A and B are shown apart, each in its own frame.
Chain A
Amino acid sequence: MMRLRAWSRTFGLLAPLAAIAALGWPAAARPFVAATIRGRVDVPAGSTATNGRPDVAALSMSMHDTVDRRRCVVYLDPAPRPAFDPGDEPHARMDQRNEGFVPHVLPIVVGSWVDFPNDDRTYHNVFSLSKTRPFNLGRYAAGRSKSVRFDRPGIVRVFCDIHSHMSAFIIVFAHRYFSVTDDEGRYHLGNVPPGTYNVAVWNEAHASQNRRVTVPDGGGDVEADFTLR
């Protein structure tokens, strides 16, 4: 819980940064040789999967997929100025499939729309009570989709009102320097201008980590690995 609060504070700081960026950063934009920060995040075994509550009142075996909690989001905190350049309103997608949200962790940039199509044969009722973006899409059937726009940075916990084992995270950033780890835990943050940055890692089940990383003027690849505890 402390981790969630810390994140809320972090995003609270990012919002003013976005405003400053929109007004113009003191150091004027200049050409640079971009770099890629890449690496790997190791998540401890044994805490990577979770099932729902014991379904004692049910008459049947739940066959929904186990939630993979290994996914991490790696991001710059704070981000360089170009990250705050205004862009379009991208669409992202979070499916309701086999009584689960796919993907389970979805990072987006402020102003994005997220579509929530129902790919199951049963009703779902997507909702969130988060301060960042509370919403309730109600019950809707297979083949239908509803969308939500996310205007503030922060963490949005997403649930289904019908299936208590369904949950997901939408992480709304004020900039574009973020990446989700793949199946092997690898990530990369591309097009990073020279400078020294704080690279942060977030995972739903583990404490966040930060590292200082310097991107040289000449660009290239910079490695930064993490091991969560």
Chain B
Amino acid sequence: MRLDRLVPLVILAALGAPGRAAAQVLPERPLTLANGQVSVSGEVTASIGPRSDPGFFDYTDYEHNALRMLRLSLSGRWRPSARLAVLAEVRTENLERPTPYALFVRVRPWKAKAFDIQAGRIPAVFGTFSRHAYGADNALIGYPLAYQYLTSLRADAIPRTADDLLIMRGRGWHDTFPLGSTAATTGQPVISAYRWDTGVEARVEKGPIEAAAALTTGTLSNPRVGDDNAGRQLSARVAWRPFVGAIVGVSAAHGEWLAGNIKNRLSMALQDRSYPQTAYGLDAEYSRGYFLARGEVIASRWTLPPLDAPQIDAPLSAMASYVEARYRLTPRFFVSGRADHLGFSDITGHLNNNLPTPWDYPVSRVEAGGGIYLQRNLVMRAVVQRNWRDGGRVREATFVSGQVSYWF
């Protein structure tokens, strides 16, 4: 069955539930086996949005639009003891081949100490949104630009000149560069919320302070299972809870970003250098009563090899920031909104009369909407999203999207 028929059917099926909602018709508990040692849960998120997004504002790759997507996921946990657990999540988007989103072991060496180690394909420690990205946890339907919007940068293909990069502004959904992979494919977001990295991480909590650090194979914008450059990323976040309901966190990440197949094509002098992604983040959350607000500021920098003139002779930077809020009007109804911006540093090429020009088009987004809990684990949302971009073939776009999210 075609996706554009299937998603409305899922939504219509859920619409039949309100009359019975109070009786908690659909199962709400995970399946448990082995006296609670094994638990399995699932999530279905069906979003129906614009049939066409020629500006590719909401695409997570060339095929998938975050506002028009059917996502099924299955999570499992085997916890043979209080201090050991194995967790996994398999996910399919738009009924394509299921992929393992998470697969890791979690250990708490000392039961009385809030110290945990996780190894495998693990949740990101940087920032907060990657750990809120599930349909049920997301205040809206779209994702913040930093975690979804496809910049023109790729780790497996790079521009030789500043002009090569400037030509690709606004083409993150499908771009090509002269050095590296010749296939046209998508660029990368500042941080990928759709893939998790592979490695090991540790987390400790003492009083109002929580700290976590991870050593992983990929980077924030290019999380990986297999290594492609013999480099590692070190990322960390420290959070402080000054009082109940408030959290302030700072994050940092630094890791080799450029793919090894590109590095091998560089001159010996350039091969000796490091080409990392370095990012810093500040996040905050405040909640009280029926109100919840979150925000993040993320600065990321990618270093590229300086090749031909006009050269890209300084790291490329991006600055992303968003603030979102949700207010629960009644036990069932809530409203939410998010304001979002993603900007880029300047480079100088011949294309714009040798004037400094952002290496990708800055983007702004406002999304607002509301939702209803049909039952505790069945939520319907509707949003309006407005996008602005400083260039590209589509500069402005407004979308309306609806979503049904169910989990057990």
Contact = CB atoms under 8 A, between A and B. Distances in A.
Interface in A97-138: 121-123, 127-132, 134-136, 138
A56 B75 contact: yes
Interface string A40-61: 0000011011111111111111
B201 interface: yes
Contacts of A135: 331
B203 A157 contact: no
Contacts of A128: 331
B287 A129 contact: no
A53 B331 contact: no
Given A50-B29, A54-B76, A138-B328, A60 B205 contact: yes
Interface stretch (A1-9, A88-96, A175-183): A1-9
A157 B85 CA distance: 29
A123 B87 contact: no
Interface string A44-87: 01101111111111111101001000000000000000000000
Contact of B102 (A51, A56, A63, A138): A56
A164 B331 CA distance: 15
A136 B36 contact: no
A60 B85 CA distance: 10
Interface in B3-26: 21-25
Interface string B131-143: 1111011000000
A52 B30 contact: yes
B267 interface: no
B244 A134 contact: no
Given A50-B36, A131-B22, A157-B24, A63 B328 contact: no
Interface in B286-325: 287-290, 292
A207 interface: no
Interface string A129-171: 1111011101111100000000000000101010010010000
A132 B87 CA distance: 37
A224 B376 CA distance: 36
B375 A129 contact: yes
Nearest to B78: A54
Contact of A51 (B39, B87, B106): B39
A142 B22 CA distance: 29
B23 A53 contact: no
B373 interface: yes
B36 A8 contact: no
B288 to A, nearest CB: 6
B287 A123 contact: yes
Interface residues of A, number: 44
Nearest to B85: A61
Nearest to A144: B244
Contacts of B339: none
B400 to A, nearest CB: 26
Given A134-B331, A135-B331, A142-B244, A4 B23 contact: yes
A139 B331 contact: no
Contacts of A138: 288-290, 328
Given A50-B32, A121-B244, A128-B331, A57 B134 contact: yes
A142 B245 CA distance: 11
Given A54-B75, A55-B77, A129-B22, A136 B87 contact: no
B336 to A, nearest CB: 14
A51 B36 contact: yes
Interface in B58-88: 75-77, 79, 82-83, 85, 87-88
A46 B35 contact: yes
Greatest chain A CB density within 10 A among B22, B89, B116, B132 is at B22
Contact of A57 (B82, B131, B287, B375): B131
A53 B85 contact: no
A127 B331 contact: yes
Given A56-B75, A59-B212, A4 B24 contact: yes
B24 to A, nearest CB: 6
Contacts of B41: 53-54
A53 B201 contact: no
A165 to B, nearest CB: 9
B40 interface: yes
Contact of A129 (B79, B114, B123, B376): B376
A53 B73 CA distance: 13
B263 to A, nearest CB: 32
A180 B89 CA distance: 38
Contacts of B408: 53
Interface in B223-268: 243-245
A61 B339 CA distance: 33
Contact of A139 (B39, B133, B289, B375): B289
Greatest chain A CB density within 10 A among B29, B35, B332 is at B29
Contacts of A53: 30, 39, 41, 75, 407-408
A140 B244 CA distance: 9
A182 to B, nearest CB: 21
For the complex of A and B, 8 pairs with smallest distance between CB atoms:
A54-B77, A131-B22, A138-B289, A141-B244, A136-B331, A53-B41, A54-B75, A61-B108
15 contacts: A4-B24, A48-B35, A50-B36, A57-B130, A57-B134, A59-B203, A60-B205, A61-B107, A63-B82, A121-B244, A134-B330, A139-B288, A139-B292, A141-B243, A142-B244
Interface of B: 21-25, 28-30, 32, 35-36, 39-41, 75-77, 79, 82-83, 85, 87-89, 101-102, 106-108, 111, 114, 116, 118, 123, 125, 130-134, 136-137, 201, 203, 205, 212, 243-245, 287-290, 292, 328, 330-332, 373, 375-377, 407-408
Interface of A: 1, 4-5, 8, 45-46, 48-61, 63, 66, 121-123, 127-132, 134-136, 138-142, 157, 159, 161, 164, 167
